Amino acid sequence: MKKIIIFLTPILIFSVVFGCSKDHEAPTFGTYKAISTPENVEATYDPGSDVVNVSWTMADTSGVIAYSVAVSDSTVFNSGKIREFPTGYGVSEYEYKASTYVDAEVKSLILYFTVSAVFNNETFNYFVGPRAEVDSALVNRE
């Protein structure tokens, strides 16, 4: 029995070393470093129409087919109640009706907004890029 174990141990080690796939290697993120992010996100509340106007700029729009505007009620963006809204290509602002997120009986609340670009080209297939810096708007109905 001892001879069988001594004989099978190197075979087992050899098969494990050369038989495993390379799924354990870390992915390369070099492809994603060239993705540009929307900048200068600015959210302002208009109490007359109960609308938050969100605007942004983006220096390099190559491959961008749309934008995704996201809203949250938490300073830790992903910990809050999040809603995302798609926009069309070439759009650099979005009008967000506050009543779709905030009930009428809520008199004041801070909403947090961010924007991501949606890419579709030879490298990315409907890929939602990184989020821009978060900006906030005070919805004050008093």
38-53 mean pLDDT: 92
Residues 54-86: pLDDT tens digits? 999 998 888 899 999 999 988 888 888 888 989
CA nearest neighbour of 115 among 33, 55, 63? 55
Tell me if residue 9 falls in helix, strand or coil.
helix
CA–CA distance, 126 with 124 (Å, rounded to integer): 6
Give the angle subtended at the CA of 105 by the CAs of 74 and 97, to the nearest 5°. Answer: 60
pLDDT of residue 121: 86
Tell me if residue 124 falls in helix, strand or coil.
coil
Please name each of the domains of the chain with its CATH number: 35-140 (2.60.40.10)
pLDDT band with cut points at 50, 70 and 90 for residue 41: very high
pTM value > 0.85:
no
The contacts of residue 3 (CB under 8 Å, 6+ apart) are none
